[in-house]
Amino acid sequence: MKHFSTGLALKYALLAGYLVFALLPLAWMLSAAFKAREDVLAVPVEWIPPSWHPENFARALLEPRFSGHSFGEFLVNSTIVATVTALAAVGLSIAVGYGFAKFRFRGREALLWTLLGSTLLPFSSVVIPLFLIIKSMGAYDSLIALIIPFVVSGQAVFISRQFLTAVPDDYLEAARLDGASEWRVFRSIIVPMSGPVITTVAVMTFMTSWTMFLWPLVVESSQRNFTAPLGLSLLGIGATFQTDYQVWMAGATIAIVPPLVFFLILERPYMRGLEAMSGLK
């Protein structure tokens, strides 16, 4: 019995230690975001700001510094891009997942696995070819370029297919016998049943889109099209801002909040989706 409780104590210690490791950098960021410039790198670390400067957030958001554009405008771009991508991904994934789940056609399995396999490849290994395609489509340096390549993803299709496979065929057959068209079956049976898929795919896509960096870095050249991470990477640029670390940290905090809030609200379906991913075997 004693042996068991030692093991349990060790497990708690491991979890607690890891939790500190995982959250301490973010706690430090949050505290630095409220500090005066000279307190950010004070030795020893001041975990509670000695004086509070919420104006750091206003400075991070509003001060124009990227040829007249402000970080706030980049947040608007990120919001548009991530929202549109998530909405499109939801619609397409349900349709595609349904096609894979409920219809037999030649090459179905091969297609599904190729699609899924392709998304496991590192994005940076296809960034050059993707850039060439987007450029030849005339979408270089536009917000569209940040959206269209990501509206279909292997993970989203896979999750949706897994979920829709479980829908009983009898439902669909009954509707067809009543004379419903395929489109009507999809709209009135499949879509209303897809609630969990919709949330999972929406959260995953929104977060991926919001946090992407390499792609906007290569495909956007005008600063009016910059996204939040892109703007953040340039926050330290410009003579006056070089070492305004408290403003960096305020900007970083702002950029982290939207995907984090999204995650915390929809944490259940998101985690279920992740766990389904590991059922790929």
Partner 1 sequence: MRNRRQAATGLAFTSPAILAFLVFWLAPVALTLTYSFANWRLGSDPAFIGAGNYLDLLRDPLFLKAAGASLRIAAYAVIPSLILAMLLAISLADPRIRAGRAWRVLFMIPVVTDWVATGLVWQLILLPNQGVIASVAQSLGLDFLVRVPWTSDATLAPIAIALFIIWKQTSLSTIFLYAAIRSVPGDVVEAAHVDGATGWQVFWRIKWPLMRPITVFVVVLSFITTLGLFEPVYMLTGGGPANATRTLPIFLYENFFTYARSGYASAAGVLFLVGSLVFAVVCSRIMKEES
For the record, the structure tokens of 89 come out as: 């991904």
Q: Which of residues 94-113 bind partner 1 (CB under 8 A)?
A: 95-96, 98-100, 102-106, 108, 111
Contact between 170 and partner 1 by CB under 8 A: the answer reads: no
Distance CA 50, CA 258 (A): 28
Q: Which of residues 190-209 bind partner 1 (CB under 8 A)?
A: 207
Choose which of 48, 125, 166, 179 interacts with partner 1 (CB under 8 A).
125
What CA–CA distances, in Å, run from 139 to 11, 78, 98, 256? 52, 17, 30, 28
β partners of residue 66: 69
Contact between 172 and partner 1 by CB under 8 A: the answer reads: no
Distance CA 67, CA 44 (A): 37
Contact between 256 and partner 1 by CB under 8 A: the answer reads: yes
Q: Which of residues 209-238 bind partner 1 (CB under 8 A)?
A: 210-211, 213-214, 218, 228-230, 232-233, 235-236
Q: Which part of the chain contacts partner 1 (CB under 8 A), choosing from 57-65, 67-75, 139-147, 249-257?
A: 249-257
DSSP secondary structure letter of residue 44: S
Nearer CB in complex with partner 1: 55/182: 182
In terms of Cβ atoms closer than 10 Å to its own Cβ (0-12, 13-18, 19+), residue 276 is: middle
Nearer CB in complex with partner 1: 42/58: 42
Contact between 79 and partner 1 by CB under 8 A: the answer reads: no
Contact between 179 and partner 1 by CB under 8 A: the answer reads: no
Q: Report which of 257, 163, 149 is spatially closest to residue 205, judged by C-alpha positions.
A: 149
Nearer CB in complex with partner 1: 80/256: 256
Q: Report which of 61, 58, 70, 83 is spatially closest to residue 224, judged by C-alpha positions.
A: 70
- Any idea of the CA torsion for 241, 247, 252, 253, to the nearest 10 degrees? -170
Contact between 281 and partner 1 by CB under 8 A: the answer reads: yes
Contact between 9 and partner 1 by CB under 8 A: the answer reads: no
For the bound state, the minimum distance from the C-beta of residue 191 to partner 1, rounded and expressed in Å, comes to: 12
Helix (DSSP H) and strand (DSSP E) numbers for the chain: 15, 0
